[in-house]
Each structure stands twice: as C-alpha cells, then as structure tokens.
C-alpha cells in the first residue's frame, strides 16, 4: 500500500454518518437598542458595581451590608437571566410562560428591594471612617444602589406599559 491509500483509509469514517441536528442561538441585536434592553444593561452594570464595591470591603462585620450583598447579587443574577432570555429570543420560543407579567413582577420587586437596600447602604456609610477604603467603597456603592433603583423603576414602568397594552389579535 502506498502512503496516499493509508491516509485516505484513515480519514474515511468506519461508522455510518448520523444526521445530528445542531441548533444555533439567534441573538436579537435590536433588543439592546430598545429602552428595555438599555435599562437591563444599566441594571446589570450598576448592580455589579454595587456588589463589587461592597464585596471588596469588610462588609461581613455588618449585617446590614450582608443584606445589601444578598439583594445586589440575587437581583443581578435574575436580571442577567432575564436579559439573556430576551436577548436570545427564548421568550418567543416558550409562549407558555407569561413573560410580561414575570418581567413586571421581577422589576417591581427589584425596585422595592433596591430602594430599601440603597437606604441601608447609605446609612451604613457612617459606620466607616471618612477617607478610608471602606468609607469610599460604601459611599460609591450607595450611589450605584440608588442609580440601580432608578433603572429598576424605569424597567417597572416599561413592563407595566407593556402589560397594559392589549396585544394584537385579542
């Protein structure tokens, strides 16, 4: 046998080819240009800044800041999940889930929780020494917590408007 025959014999499949279907994720690039998409991105970025700023300090000595971390991380993870669901168009593929109501509940709950969290975060700043690392981080996280609250309030309003708007064909 010459070398070309051996190489071609190695490349030929020994088992029959199976028809395996592959699915591709379809990303809705338009979603990130909508007001809802921009607010979700702002919630993700600002929420991440809240928990990073608090997490980089000795927050675990203060139960109030543990609450801030809990709310910030839970809302952040849920918002990322919801963003990915809308960004990939999964909400169109799973019509059994009332996505509008789910978004409304998540956004309203997050806005209320973040409002309490922002106030708790701002009040906790006084427990650190001015000019120290903890003080600066907690003050910045309180600012971003209030900013995140505004983003969730805006998303709540948009979700409410979507929920109240009758769908076509009804």
Confidence of residue 166 (pLDDT cuts 50, 70, 90): confident
- 91-113 burial by CB neighbour count: b if 16+ within 10 A, else e? beeeeeeebbeebbebbbebbeb
* Structure tokens, 66: 């543990």
C-alpha–C-alpha distance, residues 56 and 141, integer Å = 11
**pLDDT for residue 37:** 93
Stated pTM of the model: 0.80
**pLDDT for residue 59:** 85
- What integer is the mean pLDDT of 24-49? 89
- What integer is the mean pLDDT of 90-119? 94
C-alpha–C-alpha distance, residues 71 and 47, integer Å = 9
């Amino acid at each position: 046998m010459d070398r070309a025959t051996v190489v071609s014999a190695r490349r030929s499949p020994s088992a029959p080819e199976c028809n395996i279907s592959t699915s591709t994720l379809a990303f809705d690039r338009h979603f990130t240009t909508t007001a809802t998409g921009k607010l979700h991105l702002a919630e993700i970025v600002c929420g991440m800044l809240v928990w990073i700023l608090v997490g980089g300090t000795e927050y675990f000595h203060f139960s109030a800041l543990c609450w801030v971390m809990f709310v910030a991380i839970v809302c952040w993870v849920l918002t990322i999940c919801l963003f990915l669901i809308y960004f990939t168009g999964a909400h169109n593929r799973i019509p059994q889930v009332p996505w509008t109501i789910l978004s409304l509940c998540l956004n309203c709950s997050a806005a209320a929780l973040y409002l309490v969290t922002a106030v708790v975060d701002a009040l906790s700043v006084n427990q650190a020494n001015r000019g120290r690392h903890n003080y600066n981080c907690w003050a910045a996280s309180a600012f971003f917590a209030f900013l995140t609250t505004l983003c969730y309030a805006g998303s709540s309003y948009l979700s409410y408007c979507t929920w109240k708007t009758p769908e076509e064909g009804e």
